């Protein structure tokens, strides 16, 4: 069983399904959404975050790096990421904490123990545990299935937050343990999907139809981005798709885009293509919400 890397364990989450939840964020995603606010989730391996603004130019990381990835010049450090192995030696010597490794491997036992710590909150709030990412459904499925099975046998509600881009067999394996799938729809046009997300959407929509036919509880989540999909046409296309395919939806969440992840791109020395991405205004969001409600999706909310 290959241990996936977890990059965040979010306690007391109220945006990842019903009640108070513990959310585990797994590293690695088959998509590359241009608006992704967790760029550290996209790649599967451990990565180094470099908070440039904290660097005082002491040069300790230059001496510590076995790969000679860091070069000091003009009082600041430049880093050659192509040779970085994420060994962490520079993290240990950086006193201003300008460096941090993202991602840690846990055994199933360790993760289950983390989940158990908040059992009292699940019971009091009707919450549970959410697996998110990155993408859960492309991790080692022996590992994920065993984790879900443990949670299920403890009596916890298990939610899976997914982009839907994974073999359907993976969904079938987890379905017996899962209370609700939080299922993203980002774009309906395959070409636009490819442009903004990196793949077309055929597998995603097929999996959604199959999950619904197999009786899964589905909470549809729509990241709503001005400049990408915040249009009445797109929302109507989603509504038509859900109705035409008789998708059994328990809730719809319209998630307004925000750019709070922007600084993380700089910390990973990646470019953030935000010129075309804009935050939708409240009036727009309410219009979209009304469209869903008027088409029978009465449990439609703005936000998570």
Query: Hunting for tokens 């997914």 — which residue is that?
Result: 162
Of these, 20, 36, 48, 129, which contacts ligand SF4 (CB under 6 A)?
48
Tell whether residue 294 is a contact of ligand SF4 (CB under 6 A).
Answer: no
Task: Compare residues 15 and 52 and give the one whose CB is closer to ligand SF4.
Answer: 52
For the CB of residue 100, give the shortest distance to ligand SF4 in the complex, in Å. Answer: 10
Determine if 75 is a binding residue for ligand SF4 (CB under 6 A).
no
| CA 287 – CA 293 distance, rounded (Å) | 10
Do the beta carbons of residue 241 and residue 218 sit within 8 Å? no
Kindly state whether residue 268 participates in binding ligand SF4, applying the rule CB under 6 A: no
Residue 153 burial class via C-beta count within 10 angstroms: exposed 0-12, middle 13-18, buried 19 and up: exposed
Alpha-carbon torsion, ordered 139, 190, 254, 282, to 10 deg:
140
**Contact residue for ligand SF4 among 87, 203, 209, 266 (CB under 6 A):** 87
| CA 51 to chain CA centroid, nearest Å | 22
Judged by DSSP in three states, 235 sits in helix
Beta-bridge mates of residue 181: 160, 218
Q: Is 102 in the site for ligand SF4 (CB under 6 A)?
A: no
Smallest distance from ligand SF4 to CB 102, Å: 11
Q: Which of 20, 31, 33, 94 binds ligand SF4 (CB under 6 A)?
A: 94
- Please, which residue, 45 or 57, has the CB nearer to ligand SF4? 57
Rule CB under 6 A: which residues touch ligand SF4?
A: 48, 55-61, 64-65, 67, 69-70, 77, 84-90, 93-94, 96, 98-99
């Amino acid at each position: 069983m290959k241990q996936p890397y977890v990059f965040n364990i979010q306690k007391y989450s109220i945006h990842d399904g019903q009640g108070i939840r513990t959310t585990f964020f797994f590293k690695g995603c088959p998509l590359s959404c241009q608006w992704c606010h967790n760029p550290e989730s996209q790649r599967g391996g451990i990565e180094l975050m470099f908070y440039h603004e904290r660097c005082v130019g002491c040069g300790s990381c230059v001496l510590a790096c076995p790969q000679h990835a860091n070069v000091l010049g003009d009082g600041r450090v430049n880093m050659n990421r192509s040779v970085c192995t994420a060994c962490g030696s520079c993290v240990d010597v950086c006193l201003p904490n300008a460096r941090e490794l993202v991602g840690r491997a846990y055994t199933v036992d360790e993760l289950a123990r983390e989940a158990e710590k908040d059992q009292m909150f699940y019971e009091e709030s009707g919450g549970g545990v959410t697996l998110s990412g990155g993408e859960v459904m492309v991790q080692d499925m022996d590992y994920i299935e065993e984790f879900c099975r443990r949670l299920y046998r403890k009596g916890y509600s298990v939610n899976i937050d997914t982009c839907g881009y994974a073999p359907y067999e993976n969904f079938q394996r987890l379905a017996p343990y899962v209370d609700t799938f939080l299922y993203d729809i980002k774009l309906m046009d395959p070409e636009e999907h490819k442009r903004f997300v990196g793949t077309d959407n055929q597998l995603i929509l097929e999996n959604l139809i199959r999950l619904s036919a197999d009786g899964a509880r589905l909470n549809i989540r729509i990241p709503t981005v001005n400049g990408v999909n915040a249009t009445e046409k797109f929302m109507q296309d989603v509504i038509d798709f859900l109705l035409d395919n008789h998708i059994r939806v328990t809730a719809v969440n319209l998630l307004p885009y925000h750019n709070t992840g922007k600084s993380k791109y700089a910390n990973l020395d990646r470019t953030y293509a935000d010129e075309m991405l804009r935050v939708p205004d409240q009036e727009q969001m309410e219009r979209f919400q009304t469209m869903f409600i008027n088409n029978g999706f009465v449990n439609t909310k703005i936000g998570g």
